[in-house]
Structure 1
Amino acid sequence: MTISAPLSPHTPAALYPAHLSVLQERAAEALRRGGFDHLVIPSGTLHYQAFDDRDYPYAVNPQFKAWLPLTQAPGSWLVITPGKRPALIFLQPHDYWHAVPAMPRDYWVEHFDITVIRTPEEAARLLPPVFRCAILGEPQSALGSYVPNNPEPVLQYLDYHRAFKTPYEVAMLRQASRIGVRAHRAAERAFRAGASEFGIHLAYCQAAGQDANDLPYGNIIALNEHAAVLHYTLRDRLPPKPLRSILIDAGASFGGYASDITRTYSAQEDDFAAMIRAVDAVQLRLCDQVRAGTDYRQIHLDAHLLLAGVLHESGLITVAPEEAVARGISSAFFPHGIGHGIGLQVHDVAGFAASDAGGTIAKPEGHPYLRLTRTLAPGMVVTIEPGIYFIDMLLDELQAKGLGDAVDWERVAAFKPYGGIRIEDDVVCTEDAPINLTREAFAEA
C-alpha cells in the first residue's frame, strides 16, 4: 500500500480550499448586490483573424481563472450558485485537427461538479435560467441567449476585492516569480555572452519553459539605446556594437497568475553601472513603503524625489531634487508610474476604485500614467518600478519649456547610448513588513 505524504501547509493545493471559500463568499455578496441568483463565467472562445482561418492566441477570461488554475479550456463555463458546489462545464471536443484539453485531474477537481460536453452548444442546456444570471465575460463568449451582461454592481464588488490576494494566490504568485527569476538569470548570461535581443528572448523562454503565448506579456528586451523606449518589443536579430547595456522587463505565468520583473545591467563597470546601483537602492527604499495604510500615490511622489536625487548625484541635473520635482524636470527622466497591482492580470483591475460600490480615486495632478491610486492593505500585491531614461522627445520638451539650464547636457549625452534604467519587483503588503517576492526568488536562485 502506498501512503501519500501530507501536503505542506504552504502549497497551493493545501491553500486552495480556503481560497475557494473566500471566492464563494465574495460571489454571494456580489450577486446579492446585483439582484442575481447565479454567477455564470465563460472561459472565453477562440477568435479567428479577419479574412483568414487562423485564430488569435487564446487568452482565458480572468474571471474564470480566478476560481481554478485552468487556462487552456476554451468554450467551457463556470456556474456559481450560493449554497451549492461550483459547477464546471468542461468542453472536450471530438477533434483530430487540434490537441484536445485533457480531463482535469489536479487538486482543485474534488471541489467542483464537472460535466464534460463535446460541442460548445451543449453548454446551454446545463446553464441556469438566463434571466437570473450575472454573466461575466467578453461579447464573443455569447451562447444563444447567454450573452455576457457584466452587471456593474457585481463587477465593481468582485474587482475591488480581487486586489486582496488570498494565501493561495500569494503562493501562485511566488511560483510565477521563481520561474521569472530563473529565466532572468538565463537572459543575463546570454547578454553577457554577447547575444542579440532575439537570442536573449529565446534564452529567456527556454529557461522559463514558456513561449510567447504562455508569457503574461510580451518580453521587453532592450539593448543600449532601445531601453529609452518604455515598451520596446522589436528584438533585433543582431547584437549592437559596442554592447553597452540591457533592460529586460519580462515575467512568467503559473496557474493563471503573473510575475512582472525588470532588471538593468551594464556591460562594464562604469558610471552607468554606478547609476544602476543608485536606482536599485532607491527601489528597495520604495519597496519598504509597501505597508498597510500607505497611500500608493505617495510612493509614486516619493519616487520622483528620490530619483531626482540620483540625477543630481550623477551630475545630470544642476538643481536640487526638490526643485527638479516642483518644476517637472524629474518627469522628463521618469515619465511613467511607480507601478500597479498584479495578480491574475499583469495590470490588475480596480486600481482606481474608491470602494466596492464604485467611485474613482484620482491620480496626482501632473502624473497621468500612474495605474494605482488606492491605499495599501494586507493582501495587496503591487509592483515597484522606478526608472531613469534618456528619451529625446521628453528632453526636447524640457528645452522647449525653458528648463534646459537645469540639465548638464554633456552628461546626458554620455548616458544616452545606454537608453535607461528600470528595476521592478513584485511586493506583497502584509500586516507587518512587506514580502518582496522578486528579491526572495533571486535569493533562492
Structure 2
Amino acid sequence: MSLYLDHLATLQQQAERALARCGFDTLLIAAGIEKYAFLDDRPYLFQPNPHFKHWLPLTSHPHSWLAVRPGRKPRVVYYQPDDYWHVPPEAPSGEWVDAVELVVIREPGEAAQALADCATPRTAIVAEPDAALPGIAPNNPEALLNLLHWARGVKTPYELAQMRAAQSRAVPGHHAARAAFLRGDSEAAIHRAYLLATGHTDRDLPYGNIVGLNEHAAVLHYQYQAESPPAESRSFLIDAGAQVNGYASDITRTWVTPGHDEFAALVAAMEVEQLALVDEVREGVDYRDIHLSTHRRIARVLREAGLVKMSDEAMVAEGVTKPFFPHGIGHLLGLQVHDVGGFMAAETGGTADKPEGHRYLRLTRPLQAGMVVTIEPGLYFIPTLLRQLRASQQAANVNWDAVERLSRYGGIRIEDDVACRAAGEAPENLTRDAFAGIAG
C-alpha cells in the first residue's frame, strides 16, 4: 500500500475506536465555509477545518464534507460549483479518489441530501457552527475531539513525508532571503524574494512571514515589511515556512552582515546551543524539561558573552534569562503551525500544566516517537523587557554597555522542525536535512 492509503487506514482505525468509545456511529467533518468581512462582500482567506485536511489533501474546498462510518469507505461530498465568477475546484483527482465514496455537488445545500443517511442522534459532527446544514448541526463532542487531537500528535509516515516536502519547499526561500538581505534589500523586497523562490504567494503561506531587519528582529511577531531599506542592514531575522498538502514547515534563521563580529559571535553561540537542544528531542522526554534546559543554556551564553555577571544557576533561579528569552522553546507542528493537543494530560483530556512562571510555552506533553516539534531558542534585546530588568535587583549584574551595543541588532532566533524517533534513536532534524540537500 502507498503511504497515503496507509495513512487513511490509520485514521479510519482511530476514528472507529473514538466513535465506539464515545457512543457514536458516524463522524461527519465539514471542510468549512468561506467567511466574509463585516459589511463587505470580500471573503477572508479560506482556512479549512484541520480535521478535514487530515484525511484529504484538499485545502481550498469550502462547503465540502467527509463522512466516516465503521467498516466502510469514507464518503467525500465534493463541492464543485459551475461558477464563472471564480475558478471552481478541478474535477476530483489523485490517489484519494479511489479510496473514497465520492459525491460531487454543485450547490452547498446539496450536501444535506448527500449526508442525510448519516445524520442521526448518534452522529458526531465536527465543524464550526456556521457550517451547519438542515438536519446537520455541529456538536463537536469533547470526548471524541480529545481522542482525535491526542492521536494527531503522532504523525504517520505519509504525514512525515509531506512535512519533509514542506521543508524542501521553504529552504530555497530562506536562501533567497539571505541573498537579498546581503544585497541590502528592504524587508518587503526580501519577502518577495522568498515567495518567488518557494513558488508561494501570500495566500499559500502557512503563516505570515516575519521579516525583520536590525531592531525589528526584537519584535517576536513583527508583522510589517518596510518598503524602504534601512541606511545600514546589520542583522536579519526571518521566520518563514511553506506548505505542502496542508502540512506546514516553520523555520527561523538569523543572519548578520560581515564586520559585525560581536553579534556574529552571539549568533554562533546560539547555534551551538540550538543544535544541542535538538538532540534532547527523545522519546519519553518531557518537553517542559527541554524548555527549562533552554534557559540554562541561554544563561551560559549570556555569561560567556560578558552580558551578565552571575552564575548560570542564579540567572535561571532569579529570572534573569526571561527578558532575553521570553517565549517558549517551541510547539507541535503539522496540519496547523501551532498544532492542537499540546497541553493535553492524556487522550481523555485534562491539562498538563506549564512550568511555573513560563506562561508562553505551547507544549507540555512527554515526547512520543512520530511527534514533530519546533526547537527555537532565542536571545533578544527587547526595550520593554530590558527596562524591567534595569529596574530590578539584578540590574547591577548586567553589562548595560554591551546590551546597548547589541540592541542595534534586535535579536536572534534559530528554529528547526524536529521529528522524535523511537527510543534510543537520534531525532530527525527535518530542517537541517533539507538545507543539506539544497545548496544556497
TM-score bucket of the superposed structures, by smaller chain = over 0.9
In structure 2, C-alpha distance between the alignment counterparts of 1:133 and 1:205, rounded to whole Å: 42
Distance 1:20 1:323 in 2: 51
What corresponds to 2:35 in structure 1? Answer: 47
Match of 1:366 in 2: 357
- Give the RMSD, CA atoms, in angstroms: 0.9
Q: Which residue of 2 aligns with 1:155?
A: 145
Q: Is the 8 A contact 2:216 2:410 kept in 1?
A: yes
- 1:444 aligned partner: 437
| Unaligned residue ranges in structure 1 (runs of 5+) | 1-12
Q: Is the 8 A contact 2:119 2:136 kept in 1?
A: no
Q: What secondary structure, in the 3-state scheme, does the structure 2 residue paired with 1:26 have? A: helix
State the shift of 1:208 in Å.
1.0
- Residues 136-193 of structure 1, C-alpha deviations (whole Å, 9 max, x = no match): 1211211123121110011000001100000110000000011111111111111111
Q: CA deviation at 1:347?
A: 0.3
Number of the residue aligned with 2:91: 103
- Aligned-partner residue type, residue 342 of structure 2: G
Q: 2:399 aligns with which of 405, 408, 419?
A: 408
**Distance between the aligned counterparts of 1:130 and 1:332, measured in 2?**
54
Match in the other structure for 2:303: 312
Determine if the alignment matches structure 1 residue 72 to structure 2 residue 72.
no
Q: Does 1:61 align with 2:52?
A: no
Distance in 2 (alpha carbons) for counterparts of 1:406 and 1:150: 53
Q: Secondary structure at the match of 1:362?
A: coil
Report the TM-score when normalising by structure 2: 0.97
Q: What is the alpha-carbon distance in structure 2 between the residues aligned to residue 96 and residue 34 of structure 1?
A: 44
User: Equivalent residue of 1:373, what SS?
Assistant: coil
The 5-angstrom pairing of residues 285-434 of structure 1 reads 285-431=276-422, 432-434=425-427
Cα distance, 1:132 vs structure 2: 2.3
Structure 1 residue 129: deviation in Å?
2.1
1:265 aligns with 255
Residue 136 of structure 1 aligns with which residue? 126
Alignment-mate amino acid for residue 179 of structure 1: R
What's the TM-score once normalised by structure 1's chain length? 0.96
Deviations 1:225-264 (A, max 9, x none): 0011000011000111111000000000000000000000
SS state at 1:175 partner:
helix
Structure 2 CA distance for aligned equivalents of residues 147 and 259 of structure 1: 34
Runs of 4+ in 1 over 6 A off after TM superposition: none
The separation in 1 between residues aligned to 2:198 and 2:325, in whole angstroms, is: 30
- Displacement after TM superposition at 1:104 (Å): 2.0
How many residue pairs get matched? 433
Equivalent-residue separation in structure 2 for 1:381 and 1:16 (angstroms): 18
Render the CA deviation track for 1:311-343: whole Å, top value 9, x for unaligned: 111111111111111110000100000000000
Matched residue, 1:186:
176
- Residues in 1 aligned to 2:133 and 2:37: alpha-carbon distance in whole angstroms: 20
SS of the residue 2:41 aligns to = coil
What is the percentage of aligned positions where both structures have the same residue? 53
For structure 2, the residue ranges without an aligned partner over 5 or more in a row are none
Q: By how many angstroms is 1:198 displaced? A: 0.5
1:22-65 deviation digits (Å, cap 9, x = unpaired): 10011011111221111101111101111111111111110000
Secondary structure of the structure 1 residue equivalent to 2:2:
helix
* Residue 109 of structure 1: how far off its partner (Å): 1.4
1:4 corresponds in structure 2 to none
Secondary structure of residue in 2 paired with 1:242: coil
CA deviation profile, 1:384-429 (whole Å, cap 9, x unmatched)? 0000000111111112222211210000001001000000000000
Other-structure match for 1:124: 112
Partner of 2:135: 145
- Of 85, 89, 97, the residue aligned with 2:73 is 85
Equivalent residue, structure 1, for 2:198:
208
Partner secondary structure for residue 350 of structure 2:
strand
CA distance in 2, matches of 1:443, 1:228: 28
Task: Specify which of 411, 428, 433 is matched with residue 435 of structure 1.
Answer: 428
